[in-house]
Amino acid sequence: MKEAIILAGGFGTRLRTVVSDVPKPMAPVAGRPFLSYLLDDLSRQGYRHVVLATGYLHEKVEACYGNEYGGMAVDYARELSPLGTGGAIVNGLQHCSEERITVLNGDTLFHVDHTPLLQADHAGCRLALLLRYVPDAGRYGAVETDGKGLVTAFREKDPTAGAGLINAGIYRMHRSLLDNYPAGQQFSFEKEVLQPLREPVHAYALDGYFIDIGVPDDYRRAQTELPLL
């Protein structure tokens, strides 16, 4: 069974001037929560269990989706205090039964087939991620690879960086990767697990529609673009 965890507990600080009464992944896009577009995509790709890692205004997420959506069972990993992205994933894993899980950022949508990412399950690696080429990689932080599918560096945000590959916010991981992090511990998945590159991180660069609604300008752009997918 294909399982996924969506990090849906964001405060949405940069969106406060536009959306202030719901968690960032629940921001309305063309009359629907942004999170619904992510769930639709997972349902189409055959996922059958999704864990929503919630925090801020968690009750609004739970009231909207209940325990089933698009043929998928839905569970909630609620954090009582901020756990960071890493702590939220560990919290979500308590509700998962599979050894390998797909993890998605709840404020970005990368409209691609997950099949290449799922190949990581058979490659013997514990962590893989999707990359997207963009003309302004410096806005997100660039990712460098060795040309053989392995990440060699994660670069900090740099307005002068120009075009390049970025982390598209979709991971495939073996749950043992976080065995040393107890439930309830606050930590950043990006800073403590991804960026140190303590073990091989496999990367798959794909081309597909990508948007990050964390910035007001892109949030406004989503209103007209997402309904067309």
CATH code at 207?
A: 3.90.550.10
Structure tokens at 13: 């600080």
Distance CA 66, CA 152 (A): 41
198: Cβ contacts below 8 Å, ≥ 6 apart: none
Whole-model pTM: value is 0.95
Quote the pLDDT of residue 62.
95
DSSP three-state, residue 92: helix
Q: Which of 114, 162, 171 lies closest to 135, judged by CA?
A: 162
Q: Are 74 and 65 in contact (CB under 8 A)?
A: yes
* Domain with 150 in it: 3-228
Q: Looking at the 3D structure of the chain, how many domains does it have? A: 1
How confident is the prediction along the chain (229 residues), in pLDDT tens digits per residue? 899 999 998 665 556 556 667 888 999 999 999 999 999 999 999 999 999 999 888 999 999 999 999 999 999 999 988 999 999 999 999 999 999 999 999 999 999 999 999 988 877 889 999 999 999 888 888 999 998 899 999 988 877 778 999 999 999 999 999 999 999 999 999 999 999 999 999 999 999 999 999 878 899 999 999 999 8
